[in-house]
Amino acid sequence: MSVRIMSTAVAIFVSAVANPVFAQHPAMPAGMTHEEHVRQMQKDADLKQRGDAAMGFDQGKTTHHFRLTADGGAIEVEANDPADGASREQIRGHLRAIAAAFADGNFDAPVATHDEVPTGVSALQRLKAVVTYSFEEAPSGARVRIRTSNREARQAIHEFLRYQIREHRTGDPLTIGT
């Protein structure tokens, strides 16, 4: 094989591998058909795009966690790169606004992100007088602590946070932590 033909073959191969059409996608989970997997990947991409717009920061540069606690729970977001000051400040601005909006019964941001009303929102709106939302800075981002002593409101908080864990696929525990 001539050098020119070999160079052309290598260039075609490199171009094909670098092309997003040929890019490897995440492994297909067990028990899922290829079609279901493709739909899940599209749903994840749509969620990321809507989340970027609704939250004001790049979902790929940040990590979400949703924690269930005995008195409610927490929404935590941190910049993946500790030196990424821009993402850290965007997270803090968003979660500061979220704490205030949720306290007013306004859940427009999660509705915009998920393109549906998350589980637990209706009860949280109805019971807003017995739930507190407090903003806290963290070294790489921030958190919103959600607390109540009302049993029904606590159940709604847990439903909302479990929904977030499943939708964002965070792997966080679906049970109350210590």
102 confidence band (pLDDT: 50, 70, 90): very high
Question: Does the pLDDT value for residue 114 go beyond 60?
Answer: yes
Q: Decide: 114 and 53 in contact? Cβ < 8 Å.
A: no
With the CA atoms of 117, 101, 104 and 109 taken in that order, what torsion angle do they form, in degrees rounded to the nearest 10?
-10
Look at the pTM and tell me if it is higher than 0.85.
no
pLDDT of residue 38: 65
The amino acid that residue 123 corresponds to is A
Gyration radius of the chain over CA positions: 21
Query: What is the rounded CA–CA span in Å between residue 144 and residue 125?
Result: 17
Question: Does the pLDDT value for residue 51 go beyond 80?
Answer: no
Apex 54 CA angle, 81 and 118, nearest 5? 105
